[in-house]
Amino acid sequence: MRTSFAPMEGITLYCYRNAHHRIFEEGIDVYYTPFLSIYKHHSIKKRDIREILPENNSEQGIRIIPQIMANDADEIIWALGELHSRGYDEINLNMGCPVGTVVSKHKGSGMLEDPERLDVLFAEVFNDKITRDIKFSVKTRLGLVNPHEFEDILPVLNKYPFSSVIIHPRVRT
């Protein structure tokens, strides 16, 4: 069994993760960062970069998986390459964030409204060679307003070789 430390924006920052690991060094296999926003001009905010700097995640034995927030294949592919070049071996895509401003940009759980678009996006991402070099996982919800929406989302996720699929057993609303 793998025990993961879920991210909470503004709370589980690197100083918190390091302190948690010092106190409870046994029991947590991996820590996820709060999401890093990926921008169309291929950049990440400096405050988000601080979350993934090696010197800020230097506790002995701590394993970090950066979580990204993006809804475009090009942005995701760039982020996978960028974070892989920084030494990370797995990246997680946030498809679960319920915040209105995120959802209105079709990011986070807003990505769940169009499974066909998700299929096209993941086909492009997994067609890129970077996905042979790095593990790619997703965190999702069951849907936006109805848990039965997952009946259309799950077949899309099952088509691709994600390293893991983390499911929040609730909908956005």
Domain containing 81 — which CATH number? 3.20.20.70
**Both ends of the chain: CA-CA distance in Å?**
30
More confident residue, 28 or 154: 154
Rounded to whole angstroms, the maximal C-alpha distance in the chain is 45
Going by pLDDT thresholds of 50, 70 and 90, the confidence category of residue 54 is: confident
Percent of the chain with pLDDT over 90: 80
> What residues make up the domain containing 112?
4-171
Average pLDDT over residues 35-59: 90
- The number of distinct structural domains making up the chain is 1
Can you tell me the distance from the alpha carbon of 81 to that of 128, in angstroms, rounded to the nearest whole number?
A: 10
Residues 68-103 have pLDDT tens digits of 999 999 999 999 999 999 999 999 999 999 999 999
Can you tell me the distance from the alpha carbon of 119 to that of 97, in angstroms, rounded to the nearest whole number?
A: 19
Is-contact 142 167, C-beta < 8 A? yes
Is-contact 91 134, C-beta < 8 A? yes
Which H, E and C letters describe the chain, residue by residue? CCCEECCCCCCCCHHHHHHHHHHCCCCCCEEECCCEEEECCCEECHHHHHHHCHHHCCCCCCCEECEEECCCHHHHHHHHHHHHHCCCCEEEEEECCCCHHHHCCCCHHHHHHCHHHHHHHHHHHHHCCHHHHCEEEEEEEEECCCHHHHHHHHHHHHCCCCCCEEEEEEECC
Going by pLDDT thresholds of 50, 70 and 90, the confidence category of residue 57 is: confident
pTM for the model stands at: 0.94
- Does residue 55 surpass a pLDDT of 90? no
Can you tell me the distance from the alpha carbon of 132 to that of 27, in angstroms, rounded to the nearest whole number?
A: 29
Going by pLDDT thresholds of 50, 70 and 90, the confidence category of residue 173 is: confident
